[in-house]
Amino acid sequence: MTTARDLMLIAMEVTPVRPVGQGDLSLALAGAEVIDLVGSGAVTVDGERLVPGPPSAPEDPLLAEAASSLVRVAPYESVEDWLWRRGQGLAAAYAARLEADGLVGRPRHRRLPFRSGGTEPLDSPARRRATERWEADEPILAVLGAAVGLREEPADGFPDLPGDAAGTALAAVGDAVAELEAVRQRRSVENAAFDNIWRAP
């Protein structure tokens, strides 16, 4: 299992503290992939750039897809650019992969609209591992979860945050999610203004 899969399983099960947008979750999953790829040695983070290592084929199909899509030409790709490119539709891809692998099934109830076909995690070692990480406040999973609204961020921040590569990826996720929310708010204001023009006497 990977951090990205663990995050997706948690997102499909816990009650969020605020609505979880599919775009937000996709950005966080792309960030989790960066952390997993760094952990496997498939990529290093140089400043804000993703520098690929030797070609690799992780066992997880989606992580292998991520590794194969790394930009291998200097000056390489920034973490931010990776999040926006790789993140497109990534939540749906993970939901479909988990269902194909038999890790999710039909729910007793539906809480989140992005679930593929209304599925939820089934009891499995993968689900238990993800839950253990979540309940233990594992820093990386906790930060990613807070970024998308699955939990509140402590007033004094999360302790024991990783540095260097993982920290860069987590910061980029936070910035990207904030940027996406700003775009949503701007569109909402523009749409409201447009409606008011047509409703004016």
Of the candidate ranges 8-12, 78-82, 88-92, 197-201, the one whose mean pLDDT is the lowest = 197-201
Question: What average pLDDT does range 131-149 have in this prediction?
Answer: 94
Number of Cβ within 10 Å of residue 16's Cβ equals: 15
Please report, for residues 7, 18, 39, 41, 184, the alpha-carbon distance to residue 44 in angstroms, rounded to integers and kept in the order given.
Answer: 22, 33, 9, 7, 32
The whole domain housing 126 covers: 3-199
Question: What average pLDDT does range 144-156 have in this prediction?
Answer: 90
pLDDT on residue 115: 46
The Cα 28–Cα 170 span in angstroms is 8
The Cα 95–Cα 97 span in angstroms is 6
CA dihedral 131, 37, 99, 113 (to 10 degrees): 70
Question: What average pLDDT does range 12-28 have in this prediction?
Answer: 94
The Cα 191–Cα 129 span in angstroms is 43
Residue 121: pLDDT above 80? yes
What is the tally of structural domains in the chain?
Answer: 1
Edge to edge, the sheet with strand 49-52 lists 43-46, 49-52, 77-78
* Single-letter amino acid code for the residue at 47: G
The Cα 186–Cα 2 span in angstroms is 35
Residue 118: pLDDT above 90? no
The Cα 79–Cα 85 span in angstroms is 10
Taking the model in full, what pTM does it have?
0.86
